Amino acid sequence: MVKVLIVGAGALGQVFGSWLATGGAQVSYLVKAGREKWADGGVPVSRLRSGRGPVAGRLVPYQVMSEPAGAWDMVWLCVDSGALRGAAIARLREVSAGATIVTIGQDLGDLDTLARIWPQEQIVQVTPTVLAFPAPSGMTYWTPPGAATGVSGPRAPQVVAALRAGGVKARRVRQAGGGEMTAARMIPFIAALEQAGWSLPRLDGAAAASREAIAVVAAQHGRRVTPSAPAWAVRPALRALPRLLPFDLWHYLESHFTKVSAQTRLMLDGWIAEGAGRGLPVKHLKVLREGLNP
């Protein structure tokens, strides 16, 4: 049996934990002090479906702790990029020797941050394709039809296998930078929405900033620059999506990205610094960043 420690019991931590437990893993959680009884008796985790009722599930962790202890086959870091740089993550080194370290982080500096704690060959990056949020009935999530969770890193096959055992569509991505490229395509638009008070603004500046961020990520990872969605295509898509999804998209975007607003700023700052250092254009990224509160 694969022993898994999940750091962070937020939305994605609960969803990934439920998938891994369904696949036969022994899933435990590391949480902040005071939350040790968070999952006593188990917690509901439900999957939404378009046009049909939700599929109810239940997550029952093996144990929940506020201090790292034990020996683990996998450690999943289901926290934002800012938390990856904290002392709490560094303390995990003592209980994770040899473990596969899985991160959902997508900031430019996340993998380098983790490589200062663990050997590079132990680190795996997962790019989620799931939207998860708390609801009155418990944690709820939705995955776009046909979407596959991308997994990259030397130990990607064992992570793909663990996810597939839980019924998740997952695939190995051999080229580095997939998560960072996803963020480069999306986060500038999120920043523009935040500036506009989570209403739909003009998106020309966000589209231009996204192109700059994509170029920075491509340069860092030796990837080919692929076209990003133009503003004229993104705006009608954002107008249409709420009518197609089985949840309130605008409420999700506001609640989730307000919670991780520091991560949005961290990403923008990282693209600006990396791009400037490489002599790449970052004018629109700077304008976007200046429009956000510190």
Instruction: Summarize pLDDT for 61-101 with one digit per residue, the tens.
Output: 999 999 998 899 999 999 999 999 999 999 999 889 899 99
Q: Are 58 and 45 in contact (CB under 8 A)?
A: yes
3-state SS track over 186-244: HHHHHHHHHHCCCCCCCCHHHHHHHHHHHHHHHHHHCCCCCCCCCHHHHHHHHHHHHHH
Q: CB neighbours of 200 closer than 8 A, spacing ≥ 6?
A: 193, 235, 238, 239
Show me where the domains of the chain are located.
Answer: 3-172, 178-290
Instruction: Summarize pLDDT for 16-53 with one digit per residue, the tens.
Output: 999 999 999 999 999 999 999 999 999 999 999 988 88
Alpha-carbon torsion angle 33, 136, 24, 78, nearest 10: -50
Instruction: Summarize pLDDT for 224-265 with one digit per residue, the tens.
Output: 888 778 888 888 988 888 888 999 999 999 999 999 999 999
CATH number of 3-172: 3.40.50.720
Q: CB neighbours of 36 closer than 8 A, spacing ≥ 6?
A: 64, 65, 66
pTM (2 d.p.) = 0.95
